[in-house]
Structure 1
């Protein structure tokens, strides 16, 4: 779905926290952005697929994960409202995705295809600036996540998760929390039964 019937206010407000938008730029945004609803357990992107979309989460929650050659899922993140998600290699290089992006709850997104994103950039340099800032922030988050995996204990990663996603702690299945902090569900249960000491 695209056009004036889409409520883009949350996206507009989010963009405005980084850059100023003119009325013409808001009109361009509204004319190019598309809307999609993803039901619980449905996939926005499946491993091996090519679905070049840059997606902004309006409501709900997704999980981004990969599956290793032993069939174990490793969760990279939980895009929630106000987050962008997608696969950059898939989006820019038309490569089959190595990632899976699945809705944990019913989720609504606003998204751009490769074509509509290029049109957005042509409509105003402000959008190129905004997405540059977004990419820089994503790289910072990626580095922080990598360092977290390499340098912190499982218990420390648990509390990092707790601080990052406090609202999700009571909603997510334990297997998803385990997949994010890099342990098995059984190991997480054992950690919790032994008492987790908050730092």
Structure 2
């Protein structure tokens, strides 16, 4: 096996933070993973599209969102370096994506196709364990996000976002922050002008 022409050390280190990897397992990982650049405003996947990829963020930022029947965007989350992203419905069920995943800034990813990820999982139990841990953490995060939407005020959601993504707070357009906390940009602007109580 030959190694990739791009740096996979951040992915290797991420995996090693959960499980131990042998030299042979690292070689297998590097032989299957692929690299892609996504320019600002380009899509990793668009609603209705089919691009079965499980993607690890190296640099930049992606937003995952849906658009309702009124044309309003609802941002489900942001993927920053060290995070995984993808449309699970598309990846595992071979269905067109209901999600849009778009680059907010120029972004670099490492990714697996459905075929290469299956090869990786079959190559050793260590990768099965790693992705099981990620799936469990994803479920926990999803439940926390759902509770946040249902139980917190817009102002409380704003501060939760601020604590979770402190770097993005300084970089993101206000419309994206509004889309994440579930208000219009106008409401967010009014809320901020009225003074946000520090949490």
Task: Give yes or no for TM over 0.5.
Answer: yes
Distance in 2 between residues matched to 1:167 and 1:180, nearest whole Å: 15
TM-score, normalised with respect to structure 1: 0.98
Shift of residue 122 of structure 1? 1.3
Deviations for 1:46-89, whole angstroms, at most 9, x for unmatched residues?
A: 00001100000000001000000000000011100000000111
Which consecutive residues of structure 1, in runs of 5 or more, have no partner in the other structure? none
Any conservation in 2 of the 1:35–1:110 contact (CA below 8 Å)?
yes
Residue aligning to 1:101: 101
Residue aligning to 1:29: 29
1:63-78 equivalence runs, <5 A: 63-78=63-78
Distance in 1 between residues matched to 2:122 and 2:173, nearest whole Å: 43
Deviations for 1:34-54, whole angstroms, at most 9, x for unmatched residues?
A: 000000000000000011000
Residue aligning to 1:17: 17
Residue aligning to 1:118: 118
Shift of residue 6 of structure 1? 1.8
Task: Please identify runs of 4+ aligned residues in structure 1 that moved more than 2 A.
Answer: none
Distance in 2 between residues matched to 1:86 and 1:198, nearest whole Å: 34
The answer as to 2:182 corresponding to 1:187 is no
Any conservation in 2 of the 1:3–1:34 contact (CA below 8 Å)?
no
Distance in 2 between residues matched to 1:190 and 1:99, nearest whole Å: 29
Deviations for 1:124-171, whole angstroms, at most 9, x for unmatched residues?
A: 110000000000000000000000000000000000000000001111
- The DSSP-based 3-state class of the residue aligned with 1:78 is strand
Distance in 1 between residues matched to 2:197 and 2:3, nearest whole Å: 51
Would you say how many aligned residue pairs link Structure 1 and Structure 2? 198
- RMSD over aligned CA atoms reads 0.9
Shift of residue 4 of structure 1? 2.1
Distance in 2 between residues matched to 1:175 and 1:162, nearest whole Å: 15
Any conservation in 1 of the 2:3–2:27 contact (CA below 8 Å)?
no
Shift of residue 3 of structure 1? 4.9
Distance in 1 between residues matched to 2:109 and 2:120, nearest whole Å: 17
